[in-house]
Structure 1
């Protein structure tokens, strides 16, 4: 018993098994094999290593964005002159990565809480019975106003009339406003922090530059009119009814190179609410919201209501950094070597099942052995029998 165990251990530790290989001279099979191997090689080198960069590890950035608008607007509505600065036309004013620049508005002044008739064309009535108290979007009082033949409502009076949007837009001067973007990104895996104020972008350069995709692609100061144009919008159209624009700051970096090569790239895209949309069956176009400025007059609370049409700007940071790493490199090489086995499998299938001499190839590839015992105490013997010889 001990001898059998010792022999088994000896066979396990001191013997090496190798697969048998048969060299087959067949032009068609050889060409198929080499073509498959070439395809696998092209896939490994071209796709895995060059295109997908399978030899590198990847990381995405933690990002922060700060913005600042500059510029003044001027309006003259019915002889009422007004100068608009950043505090008036930017919402919210904190310099977020998403904000709205007002380009047009409808103002309703001197509103006070009370009872007043709806606008003509809204909730028309002939008697009080047509005005169900508390129904619809307005808080109705159940009274039909004889003068307008519309239902009376409890609301801020006079009610807003937003049918006629000013055309041309009141703040066309917004086209010359400028936007300053300051962006910082950190790649935790590689312990790298970068800012869009890269090498050469100093206070002197910022003071005189204006972003241009060709001449000044790294300048962080953007003219609002240029942003609209690069996103595919017409400024007068988007200024009239509003819209949304995305500014994408793309950080695609290869840290196998020097850090100075890691620079942002700015692109501009029109988002939802395209003002060129004319099909009313689709989603509503433009972008607008309302806000009110409250005040007291003769101990009565009043407000000025603004319906604001503006350009919503969303700054979107996308990032992907890469750097050489031995682990993904070995993984890519190992998977590539494994794929080379596809050529062997395909060629074996062709040899064993498709070619006219498939039985011959089967006899050459596989050897059958007959094993029988000479006596109970002797080792097993084997006789190898060739099933076919040629």
Structure 2
């Protein structure tokens, strides 16, 4: 006799059964089952969610965001500026060449409104500024010769000398003398500055749509020589007064002229290219860009010097300038109808409507009183026949539901299937047939209990011999 094969351990057998079950379940196909639930509250919630989603996509996505368009952001842009005007200070008349820095007319420029002038600086030795750390002294021992402070004005000589005014003393340095703090004179240029005019030429181009436009109206009657900007009547006359820009930014001109600041002129080109080109117009806005309420970083100033020679020695005038810096910022977005984004957003809208079904199904299967009945009605397990029938009308009738086959268990073991099927038949023979009821009753559609002849897990199988003869003549006629 052959030796009996050793049985695998129970854990290994269980693991194999689990693996076979997972592999079999992997190839299952799931299809939705439609159940009509006669519940007013659940129906109101379902339709309300659908309505909200529909309103969101119609109003916000398609009307406000215009998601049916192909869009392009960040147009190609060029900016040219020109400032005109004169002003007075305590000592002289200032013109554009002196108070505009840099003079090239780019998108960023400064208009000087106040200066602190230190005249006749020459290379020599003088007292250091008291603002420099450890610059004050009482004797020469407090000053180290050759010491160089990066925040100072020169190289220390080692001597302690009297300051420019008062009784204080500071260490002597070699550099441009006198230093700024000791001999500077302040001059205000902002008396007539609010009347300065600024011409801003801007042209944009959207390469994706081959669309270009400028912010100046094409007229041959000298229109720009006598106009100033107005949002309604003179939109295409981009000549702004400096006082108007500061006012629109919400600032006080006198305070801003003393401390300096940065003002942004924002030009926005939002264009709907489905309309005519005349509907694509620039929109101007103004705001202060530097942090006004942070003393350490608010304001704007810079230094420059003018050099000349006196008796063969180089001399310079140091100017610390406070001013209003103008930044021209251009941005925008253009859109035009395109079929691809329209289809994508329509598909997204139709898919999102299914959120209502998901929410109501969750409530139905979790919080409703008859959730087990609903779960049984919603989830069914159906097995396909192992062998195809020999008659195509029978097969087609089975698919269309005209001749339902007898159920049998979803099992791969023929013996087990036959055993369960026989058991079901014996139970069916012991129970009297149910009393016929109207098929149109809502309760029959909603809470119909499962058939007594088939236990849980039974599903469609190969039709028996008696099913080859169809009794539904109407169903064959429809075929």
How far has the Cα of 1:287 moved from its partner? 1.0
Please, which moves more after superposition, 67-76 or 127-136? 127-136
Residue deviations 1:222-252, cap 9 Å, x none? 0011111111111111111211100001111
Matched, 1:348 2:361: yes
Runs of 5+ unmatched residues, structure 1? 1-16
In 1, Cα distance between equivalents of 2:375 and 2:162:
103
Q: What are the equivalent positions in structure 2 for 1:67-106 lying under 5 Å apart?
A: 67-77=81-91, 82-106=92-116
Q: Residue 374 and residue 41 in structure 1: after superposition, are their counterparts in 2 closer, same or farther (change >3 A)?
A: closer
CA distance in 2, matches of 1:51, 1:109: 61
1:32 Cα deviation (Å)? 1.4
Alpha carbons 2:229, 2:238 under 8 Å: kept: yes
8 Å Cα contact 1:369-1:384 kept in structure 2:
no
Give me the whole-angstrom Cα distance separating, in 2, the residues matched to 1:290 and 1:235.
22
CA distance in 1, matches of 2:385, 2:31: 24
1:267 is aligned to: 285
Which residue is 1:143 aligned to?
159
Sort the Cα spacing of 1:161 and 1:372 in 2 relative to 1 into closer, same or farther, 3 A: closer
Report the 3-state secondary structure (helix = DSSP H, G, I; strand = E; otherwise coil) of the residue aligned with 1:40: helix
Structure 1 contact 370–384 (Cα < 8 Å) conserved: no
Shift of 1:217: 3.8
Residues of 1 paired with 2:279 and 2:331: CA distance? Answer: 17
**Structure 2 partner of 1:302:** 315
| Closer, same or farther: CA 310–334 of 1 in aligned 2, 3 Å | same
Q: What residue is the counterpart of 1:24 in the other structure?
A: 37
Distance 1:359 1:120 in 2: 88
The one-character-per-residue Cα deviations of 1:306-346 (angstroms, maximum 9, x if unpaired) are 11111000000011111111110000000111111111212
CA drift of 1:362 comes to 2.3
Q: Which has the higher contact order (CA 8 A, sep 6+)?
A: 1
User: Equivalent residue for 1:388?
Assistant: 450
Query: Aligned equivalents of 1:180 and 1:293: distance in 2?
Result: 28
- Residues 268-312 of structure 1, C-alpha deviations (whole Å, 9 max, x = no match): 1011153xx4x7xx4243211110011122111111111111100
TM-score (norm 2): 0.70
TM (norm. structure 1) is 0.85
Assess, with a 3 A threshold, how the Cα gap between structure 1 residues 364 and 111 changes in structure 2: closer, same or farther: same
Report the equivalent of 2:60.
Answer: 47
Tell me, what secondary structure is at the counterpart of 1:161? helix
> Which whole-Å CA distance do the structure 2 matches of 1:308 and 1:229 have between them?
22
- Compare CA radii of gyration and give the structure with the larger one: 2
Shift in alpha-carbon separation, 1:36–1:324, aligned structure 2, 3 A: same
**Number of residue equivalences:** 362
Question: Which structure's residues are more often strand, by fraction?
Answer: 1
Equivalent pair of 2:70/2:338 in contact (CA under 8 Å): yes
Change (3 A) 1:382 1:203: farther
Q: Secondary structure at the match of 2:41?
A: helix
Which residue of structure 2 lines up, in the alignment, with residue 314 of structure 1?
327
Q: 1:156 aligns with which of 176, 184, 189?
A: 176
Q: Which has the higher helix share?
A: 2
Instruction: Show the 5 A alignment for 1:92-241.
Output: 92-119=102-129, 123-132=135-144, 133-136=146-149, 137-138=151-152, 139-146=155-162, 149-161=169-181, 166=186, 169-198=188-217, 204-213=222-231, 215-241=233-259
> What SS does the aligned partner of 2:89 have?
strand
